[in-house]
């Protein structure tokens, strides 16, 4: 048992948000009731406000990617729970540009519905709104449900590329189309060797036998569809990279995210990244952009995800464009 | 006032709605409907007309009511308000608003007829309304809405939290579908005295369900 350092008698999500906004007071403002984080600065040429959001427990996503060059606002829910439509609606009203607002939504039922309700309200107010749905997790591809692939760390790639495109003055339709292209050119897969600790009970969310890992785990503490005997790291990374590449269009360059799930050290993540780069190189694909770190965790789960985006010609320029957010600066 | 009547219905049906939602969902629908309508009635001025009633109720359910169904009901009410405000407080405008609201609910909630949701009351009742003539025979429509809601007992859930229990929900109607039948009951009660649906009039009030879920424990 590893009890989190949280005061369970308080609203620790709100308190974390207040701490985050104070730490990054040069970049963001915190709006209270309803709660959302808003960028202090945005490019003068930006015509569309970019808004994302989702459950808490995935920090720095999304508030950490609010700021010049990326999101105009982020809307946090409670731990692993979608934000309320009112938060999304009011954040969108606050940052809508002359061409309206674009919602970047991870594919979960609650997020789809709440962003959808907010979009109906914005349309009612005459504010143009469009949505980019991110559904990158290959582990959920074959499920026999109508829900489709989950959205995970590729959201950060979408937020970065769309932020740069918004800064050059792209209109709402162009951004929505680009976002859809980036989402469909991005896939991820995640593994874990230890579940996250429940902030409520202090217990691990699920048991895992010695020597096994969860292959295809999600970011809400849900178990993967399969547990596998733990292979050596190079073999594991090679298998994951191969599986992700197999779901993507052919290309000779890649934007790569190696994302810690919360309980994974930098030395582990950089080992993984070096092995991903090797695996890609072996298949004739070179790393053209990358981000390594704890970007979209599942609280303190010990594990990591690999995201690969096969970029179109002008996406590398968008990836390298300036950004000034709490979690990503370029 | 319409919303006062709807609130009375939600108070009377609270125990039964909670019970049927516990059988298939998370048990918060009775709390959410009653809590929302209590807030609406408290916020409404005494002389509010129908348009104001739907406007205030729409915003309140969208902003303040938990669960997924609460804000979806808010979308329905808001669309009715827009239609009444644009075309006047007629039956035709009311029906057009219900049509627009149902379309919005289906766009957002992605539910189709047969998924065991409030759409299973709304969509077939709108079919009935299209052939009901003008003025609408609201008492007959309320009866049809109740029949449609009851018929969800034979449907297997595909959307929302209820989908997690699958066929175990069979035999009990969907709480959201019944809650919408009560809206039609309230609309009909403006002009005629209707019996209250017997299965929703519970003599005893059970303990309230635990803390209302935020919309999106659905996220995971």
B74 inside 8 A of chain A by CB? yes
Residue B207 has pLDDT above 60, yes or no: no
Q: Are residues A168 and A192 in the same domain?
A: no
Is residue B215 a part of any domain in this protein?
Answer: no
In a domain, residue A330? The reply is no
Residue B204 lies in a domain: no
Quick check: B104 contacting A, CB < 8 Å? yes
Residues B24/B175, Cβ–Cβ less than 8 Å: yes
Banded pLDDT at A136 (limits 50, 70, 90)? very high
**A317 domain-assigned:** no
Domain range spanning residue A208?
A: 186-310
Instruction: Tell me how far apart the alpha carbons of residues B137 and B142 are, in angstroms, rounded to a whole number.
Output: 9
Confidence band (pLDDT; 50, 70, 90) for B211?
Answer: very low
Residues of chain B neighbouring A111 (CB-CB closer than 8 A): 216, 219
What CATH number corresponds to the domain at position B186? 1.25.40.340
Please check whether residue B29 is in contact with residue B19, taking contact to mean a CB–CB distance below 8 angstroms: no
Report yes or no on A117 lying in a domain: yes
The answer to whether residue B208 is domain-embedded is no
Domain boundary among A145, A162, A184: A184
Q: Are both A301 and A269 inside the same structural domain?
A: yes
Return the closest-CA partner of residue B104 out of B134, B82, B137.
B82
Tokens 């209302």 sit on residue: B212
User: pLDDT band at residue B184, thresholds of 50, 70 and 90?
Assistant: very high
Q: Is the pLDDT of residue B146 over 70?
A: yes
Q: Residue A303: enclosing H or E segment and its boundaries? A: strand A302-309
Whether residue A326 is contained in a domain is answered as no
CATH code of the domain in which A146 resides: 3.40.50.10440
Contact A113 B214 (CB under 8 A): no
Q: Chain B, 131-160: which have a CB under 8 Å from a chain A CB? A: 158-160
Enumerate residues 6+ apart whose C-beta is below 8 A from B8.
none
Q: Is A198 found in the same domain as A107?
A: no
User: Rounded mean pLDDT of A6-21?
Assistant: 91
Gap between the Cα atoms of A207 and A157, Å rounded: 32
Domain boundary among A127, A157, A184: A184
Report yes or no on B203 lying in a domain. Answer: no
Q: Mutation target for A interface from B216, B217, B218: give the one with most A CBs within 10 A.
A: B216
Whether residues A108 and B219 touch (CB distance < 8 A) is answered with: yes
**Interface test with chain A among B32, B109, B220, by most A beta carbons within 10 Å:** B220
A141 pLDDT tier (thresholds 50, 70, 90): confident
Per the domain annotation, does B211 fall within a domain?
A: no
Q: Evaluate the CA torsion angle B159, B161, B164, B166 in order and state its sign.
A: negative
What percent of chain A clears pLDDT 90, i.e. is strictly above it? 86
Interface of A with B (CB under 8 A): 54-55, 77-78, 80-86, 89, 108-114, 116-117, 119-121, 124, 146, 218, 220-222
DSSP secondary structure letter of residue A211: T
Structural domain contains residue A148: yes
User: Do A106 and A253 lie in a common domain?
Assistant: no
Closest CA to A119 of A134, A135, A101: A101
Shared domain for A85 and A159, answered yes or no, is yes
Residue A69 is given by DSSP the state: T
Q: How far does Cα A114 stand from its chain's mean position?
A: 17
Counting Cβ atoms within 10 Å, is residue A286 exposed (0-12), middle (13-18) or buried (19+)? exposed
The pLDDT confidence band at residue B66, using thresholds 50, 70 and 90, is confident
Residue range(s) defining the domain that contains residue B56:
2-195
pLDDT digits (tens, 9 = 90+) for A58-100: 999 999 999 999 999 999 999 998 999 999 999 999 999 999 9
Mean pLDDT, to the nearest integer, of B103-108? 96
DSSP character for A127? -
Query: Is pLDDT above 50 for B51?
Result: yes
Instruction: Say whether both A205 and A121 belong to one domain.
Output: no
Query: 3-state DSSP call for residue B37?
Result: helix
Q: What are the distances in angstroms from CA A22 to CA A18, A27, A155, A326, A327?
A: 6, 10, 25, 11, 15
SS3 call for B103:
helix
Q: Is residue B170 part of a domain?
A: yes
A116–chain B nearest CA distance, Å: 5
Task: Give dist(CA A224, CA A191) in Å, integer.
Answer: 8
Among the ranges given (A139-153, A246-260, B9-23, B64-78), the one the predictor scored with the smallest mean pLDDT = A139-153
pLDDT at site B156: 81
Residue A16 lies in a domain: yes
β-bridge pairing A286-293 and A302-309: unpaired
Q: Which of A55, A51, A52 is nearest to A16 (CA)?
A: A55
What is the C-alpha to C-alpha distance for residues A77 and A157, in angstroms, rounded to an integer?
21
Q: Give the strands of the sheet with A129-134, arranged side by side.
A: A28-31, A36-39, A73-79, A49-56, A101-106, A129-134
Inter-chain touch A124–B82, beta carbons under 8 Å: yes
Which residues of A are annotated as catalytic?
58, 220
Cα distance from B139 to chain A (closest Cα, Å)? 31
DSSP secondary structure letters along B175-205: HHHHHHHHHHHHHHTTTS--PPPGGG--SS-
**Residue B218 covered by a domain:** no
Q: What is the DSSP string of B40-82?
A: HHHHS-TT--HHHHHHHHHHHHHHH--TTHHHHHHHHHHHHHH
Cβ atoms within 10 Å of B133's Cβ, excluding its own = 9
* Integer CA distances (angstroms), A204 to A199, A201, A260, in order: 9, 8, 18
In a domain, A6, yes or no: no
* CATH assignment at residue A286: 3.30.1180.20
Residues A145 and A244 in one domain: no
Cβ distance B216 to A111 less than 8 Å, yes or no, reads yes
Strand ranges inside A6-89, DSSP E: 28-31, 36-39, 49-56, 67-68, 73-79
**Same structural domain for residues A113 and A17?**
yes
The verdict on ipTM greater than 0.90 is no
Yes or no, beta carbons of B219 and A121 under 8 Å apart:
no
CA distance A35 to A20: 13
Tell which residue, B169, B170, B178, has the closest CA to residue B200: B178
pLDDT attached to residue A223: 80
Report if residue B205 sits inside a domain: no
Residue A200 forms part of a structural domain? yes
Task: Answer whether residue B162 shows pLDDT above 70.
Answer: no
> Cα(A86)–Cα(A256) distance, rounded to whole angstroms?
34
∠ CA B62-B66-B69, nearest 5°, is 70
- The verdict on A162 and A242 lying in the same domain is no
Boundary residue ending a domain (A154, A184, A214): A184
Number of domains in chain B: 1
Say whether pLDDT at A144 is over 90: no
Partners of A308 in beta bridges: A187, A256
> What angle in degrees, to the nearest 10, is found between the helix axes of B2-24 and B50-64?
30
Report the distance separating Cα B12 and Cα A138, nearest Å.
Answer: 48
- Chains A, B: CB contacts under 8 A, how many? 86
Closest chain A C-alpha to B52 CA, distance in angstroms: 16
CA distance A281 to chain B (A): 35
What is the total count of domains within chain A? Answer: 2
CB within 8 Å: B108 and A120: yes
Q: What value does the mean pLDDT take over residues A161-174?
A: 98
């Amino acid at each position: 048992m590893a009890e989190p350092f949280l005061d369970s008698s308080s609203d620790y999500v709100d308190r974390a948000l207040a701490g985050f906004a104070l730490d990054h007071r040069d970049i963001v403002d915190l709006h209270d009731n309803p709660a959302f984080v808003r960028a202090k600065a945005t490019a003068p040429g930006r015509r569309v406000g970019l808004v994302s959001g989702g459950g808490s427990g995935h920090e720095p996503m999304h508030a950490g990617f609010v700021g010049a060059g990326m999101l105009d606002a982020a809307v946090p829910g409670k731990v692993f729970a979608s934000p309320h439509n009112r938060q999304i609606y009011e954040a969108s009203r606050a940052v809508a540009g002359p061409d309206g607002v674009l919602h970047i939504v991870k594919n979960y039922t609650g997020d789809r519905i709440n962003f959808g309700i907010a979009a109906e309200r914005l349309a009612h107010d005459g504010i143009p709104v469009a949505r980019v749905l991110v559904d990158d997790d290959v582990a959920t591809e074959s499920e026999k449900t109508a829900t489709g692939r989950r959205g995970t760390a590729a959201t950060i790639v979408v937020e970065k590329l769309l932020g740069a495109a918004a800064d050059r003055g792209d209109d709402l339709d162009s951004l929505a189309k680009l976002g859809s292209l980036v989402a469909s050119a991005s896939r991820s897969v995640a593994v874990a060797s230890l579940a996250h600790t429940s902030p409520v009970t202090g217990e691990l969310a699920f048991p895992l036998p010695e020597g096994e890992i969860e292959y295809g785990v999600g970011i809400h503490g849900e178990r993967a569809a399969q547990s596998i005997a733990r292979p050596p790291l190079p073999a594991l990374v090679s298998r994951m990279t191969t599986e992700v590449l197999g779901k993507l269009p052919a290309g000779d360059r890649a934007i790569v995210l190696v994302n810690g799930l919360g309980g994974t050290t930098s030395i582990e993540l950089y080992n993984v990244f070096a092995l991903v780069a090797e695996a890609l190189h072996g298949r004739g694909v070179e790393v053209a952009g990358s981000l390594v770190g704890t970007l979209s965790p599942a609280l303190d789960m010990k594990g990591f995800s690999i995201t690969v985006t096969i970029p179109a010609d002008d996406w590398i320029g968008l990836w390298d464009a300036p950004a000034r957010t709490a979690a990503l600066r370029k | 006032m319409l919303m006062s009547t709807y609130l009375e219905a939600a108070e009377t049906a609270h125990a039964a709605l909670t019970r049927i939602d516990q059988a298939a969902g998370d048990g918060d629908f009775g709390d959410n409907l009653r809590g929302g309508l209590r807030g609406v009635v408290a916020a409404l001025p005494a002389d509010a007309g129908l348009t104001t009633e739907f406007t205030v109720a729409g915003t309140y359910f969208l902003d303040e009511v938990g669960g997924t169904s609460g804000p979806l009901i808010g979308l329905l009410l808001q669309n009715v308000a827009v239609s009444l405000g644009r075309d006047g407080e007629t039956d035709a405008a009311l029906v057009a608003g219900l049509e627009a609201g149902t379309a919005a609910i289906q766009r957002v909630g992605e539910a189709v007829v047969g998924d065991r949701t409030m759409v299973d009351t709304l969509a077939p009742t709108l079919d009935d309304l299209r052939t009901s003539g003008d003025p609408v025979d609201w008492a007959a429509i309320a009866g049809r809405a109740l029949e449609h809601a009851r018929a969800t007992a034979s449907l297997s859930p595909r959307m929302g939290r209820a989908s997690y229990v699958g066929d175990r929900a069979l035999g009990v109607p969907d709480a959201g579908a019944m809650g919408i039948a009560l809206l039609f009951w309230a609309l009909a009660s403006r002009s005629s005295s209707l019996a209250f649906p017997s299965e929703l009039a519970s003599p005893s009030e059970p303990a309230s369900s635990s803390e209302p879920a935020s919309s999106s424990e659905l996220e995971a």
